[in-house]
């Protein structure tokens, strides 16, 4: 057996599986999608808000030691402004997972998660793994969405619910690790 084998579009190197998956990151403007990705990739937080224009793509590798696998997630951070809605079809196409992000201090961003999920379903993504994220958990005094509300929506969407803070890093790595595991398990038919 050689060190490198190709199997069904995946590469096994010295017995370890390597795979690449596309993850869309969706939610209203200014909920912290860019900040979450930046915190995960660089462990840094940028305080200045710059809206995403179209899509930003970030690639990160995650080790799934329990599965003897290395997974590369290619995150497509999709602009939340209405003028970019016509770009959803090409950006959503081929997604293997989705992160649905809202701001726990803004009720409208929570309510709009249903619209974001409906758009993903419209483009055939109802069966992919997803995670619901309530971001900005460090703003405790400004909180409008309480934990049970997030958990309830997560159950409704069949999505684990996490509260994160891109500012402090709370739960950020856990979200991305969980996303990698959920996609890997769905693709490799683990039960």
**pLDDT tens digit string along 132-184?**
999 999 999 999 999 999 999 999 999 999 999 989 999 999 999 999 999 99
Structural domain contains residue 95: yes
The average pLDDT across 37-64 equals 68
**Exposure string for 141-167, b = 16+ CB within 10 A, e = fewer:** eeeebeeeebeebbeebebbbbbbbbb
Q: Into how many domains does the chain fold?
A: 1
Domain for residue 12, yes or no?
A: no
Is 140 part of any domain? yes
pLDDT, tens only, 86-101: 555 678 889 999 999 9
Inside any domain, residue 6:
no
Instruction: Judge whether residue 45 has pLDDT over 90.
Output: no
Calculate ∠ Cα 128-179-12, nearest 5°.
90
Which CATH number goes with the domain that contains 23? Answer: 3.40.50.300
CA dist., res. 105 & res. 124, Å (int): 30
Q: Does residue 38 belong to any structural domain of this protein?
A: yes
pTM of the model: 0.84
In this predicted structure, the answer to whether residue 46 has a pLDDT above a threshold of 70 is no
Whether 180 is covered by a domain: the verdict is: yes
CB 69 within 8 A of CB 96: no
Report which secondary-structure segment, H or E, holds 40. helix 33-42
95 lies in which domain range?
Answer: 19-59+74-188
Max intra-chain CA distance, the chain: 59
In-domain check, residue 166: yes
Angle subtended at Cα 28 by Cα 139 and Cα 179, rounded to the nearest 5 degrees:
80
């Amino acid at each position: 057996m050689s060190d490198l084998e190709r199997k069904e579009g995946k590469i096994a190197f010295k017995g370890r599986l390597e795979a690449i998956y596309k993850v869309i990151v969706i939610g209203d403007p200014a909920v912290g999608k860019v900040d979450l990705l930046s915190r995960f990739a660089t462990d840094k937080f940028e305080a200045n808000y710059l809206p995403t224009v179209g899509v930003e793509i970030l690639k990160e590798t995650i080790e799934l030691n329990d599965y003897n696998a290395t997974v590369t997630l290619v995150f497509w951070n999709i602009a939340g402004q209405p003028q970019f809605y016509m770009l959803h079809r090409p950006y959503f196409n081929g997604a293997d997972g989705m992160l649905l992000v809202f701001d726990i201090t803004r009720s409208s961003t929570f309510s709009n998660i249903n619209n974001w999920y409906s758009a993903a379903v419209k483009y055939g993504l109802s069966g992919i793994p997803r995670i619901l994220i309530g971001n900005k958990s460090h703003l405790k005094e400004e909180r409008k969405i309480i934990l049970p509300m997030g958990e309830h929506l997560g159950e409704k969407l069949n999505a684990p619910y996490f509260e994160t803070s891109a500012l402090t890093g709370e739960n950020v790595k856990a979200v991305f690790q969980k996303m990698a595991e959920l996609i890997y398990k769905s693709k490799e038919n683990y039960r």
